Amino acid sequence: MNSFIDRKSRILFFSPIIFIFGIFRIVQFYLIQKSTIKSVPDHIVVRSAAPHMHKNYFRMFNQNINTDKFLYIDCFNKNQYTKIKKVSFLRLLQEFYLTYNELMPMISRLTREEGKNLIAYKAMVGLPPFSYFTCLLEELKKENTKIKMFSGGANLISSSAILSKIETYWLAHGVIAPPTLMSGKKIKPNPVKFNIKPDPSKYNILLPKFNFIYLFSKDEVKFYRDHGISSKLCLYPYKKLNKLHTKIIIFLDSVDSGMNYKDLSKLISLFKKYQYEIIIKLHPSYKGNLKKEFLSDRNIKILNDPNTPALKLMLEEKPSFVAGWNSTTLCEADLHGITTICLSNPVDLKYSPHQFHKRSIGLVESSKRLDEYLANSIDAFEILK
């Protein structure tokens, strides 16, 4: 099979629609824009769909939340990002036209099986804001050459920043997703192999070329490094906790469908048996009804504060155990010396770059072993290590 580069460009019937729609959007952006800031701060913080995705910026780079130090850009709200600095109409048209001319021949080389129609649609929707972001960031950089961009993974505006030669930071807000096959096919379940061996020729890891990427797990750092990601890969800072208490914090998933009530009840009963303080922390975006099952239980403390990060809660409570599904909280707990219990089905963990099956006690397959650890006060963390 010929490589993608060697394929010939074909006629793309979507091209006129993408172009006309793009011009309409560019005109719209230009007409509603307004300059509202007098000076450009050193940091740009990108807000995206979930309200908590950018908050690691304050943990890492602005702990005092100095408002003079950063500027918010809400990358999904045109009525916000067009009210920062005005951009020349001719410059907007030029940027859109240049990007359009580069992208259309590439899309035309794709086949339907490779998702040609979906990518063409994404191009139609994404090209106008990408062009606007690029021009806006260029204007901001003219006024402050030291600006840096921080996001929880907003790839479109981050790509604009990279194109504008602005230093970019991806501050991951959760565990990274496993790669997809080059062919676009789903990875078939394999009951024997849990981890994906590095093979850049076989797997897709499509990321903007961030200057820095911050991750929650040593496994994730190694995984990206082995797959040839050239960004500087960093681990969020951590410090092992001492004098842990007889407590367990259970972090709920964001949706009820991602959790098993039977397993959760089994876990709670087990820790009640050994007189552990039980704390249930709701996910910041949780909207489900599972918490109602435990509201009448006075032996369970339910926390529903979206502004309290999981790490802060762990540092304050110092639990001996943290339980949850395949989430960031288990990675953070592991780094801080807390024994983790994974409630996910083993099948769901096979291809996660973070090796939950090695670094956590799996409740589904190891409940008897966990009972033994608790009964005999065995240091489960040391055994896992």
CATH of the domain at 314: 3.40.50.2000
Same domain, 157 and 21: yes
Residue at which a domain ends, from 152, 171, 190 = 171
Confidence of residue 3 (pLDDT cuts 50, 70, 90): low
Same domain, 161 and 269: no
Same domain, 38 and 158: yes
Number of domains in the chain: 2
Asked if 384 and 361 count as a contact pair (C-beta separation under 8 A), the reply is yes
Summary mean pLDDT of the chain:
84
Residue at which a domain ends, from 171, 204, 223 = 171
Question: Would you say residue 113 lies in a domain?
Answer: yes
The tokens describing 94, both together, are: 């030029």
Same domain, 159 and 45: yes
Task: Kindly tell me the burial class for residue 244, based on how many C-beta atoms sit within 10 Å of its own C-beta (0-12, 13-18, 19 or more).
Answer: middle
Same domain, 150 and 259: no
Same domain, 105 and 253: no
Same domain, 113 and 259: no
Same domain, 156 and 292: no
Q: What is the pLDDT of residues 173-205, one digit of tens each?
A: 888 877 765 554 544 444 334 445 555 556 667
Is 2's pLDDT higher than 60? no
**Lowest-pLDDT range of 104-113, 331-340, 347-356:** 347-356
Range of the domain at 324: 245-384
User: What span, in angstroms and rounded, lies between the C-alpha atoms of 85 and 82?
Assistant: 7
Question: Would you say residue 187 lies in a domain?
Answer: no
Confidence of residue 31 (pLDDT cuts 50, 70, 90): very high
Is 381's pLDDT higher than 80? no
Question: Would you say residue 238 lies in a domain?
Answer: no
Q: What is the pLDDT of residues 215-240, one digit of tens each?
A: 988 888 988 888 888 899 999 988 88
User: What span, in angstroms and rounded, lies between the C-alpha atoms of 60 and 64?
Assistant: 10
Same domain, 66 and 158: yes
User: What span, in angstroms and rounded, lies between the C-alpha atoms of 311 and 186?
Assistant: 33
Question: Would you say residue 226 lies in a domain?
Answer: no
Nearest to residue 270, comparing CAs of 323, 316, 311?
Answer: 323
Question: Would you say residue 322 lies in a domain?
Answer: yes
Is 367's pLDDT higher than 60? yes
pTM of the model: 0.82
Q: What is the mean pLDDT of residues 247-260?
A: 84
Question: Would you say residue 368 lies in a domain?
Answer: yes
Same domain, 165 and 281: no
pLDDT of 124: 93
Asked if 294 and 300 count as a contact pair (C-beta separation under 8 A), the reply is yes
Question: Would you say residue 275 lies in a domain?
Answer: yes
Question: Would you say residue 268 lies in a domain?
Answer: yes
Same domain, 162 and 259: no
| Residue 249 DSSP SS3 | strand
Q: Strand pairing partners for 376?
A: none
Residue at which a domain ends, from 171, 206, 229 = 171
Q: With left for phi above 0 and alpha for psi between -120 and 50, is residue 227 left, alpha or beta?
A: alpha
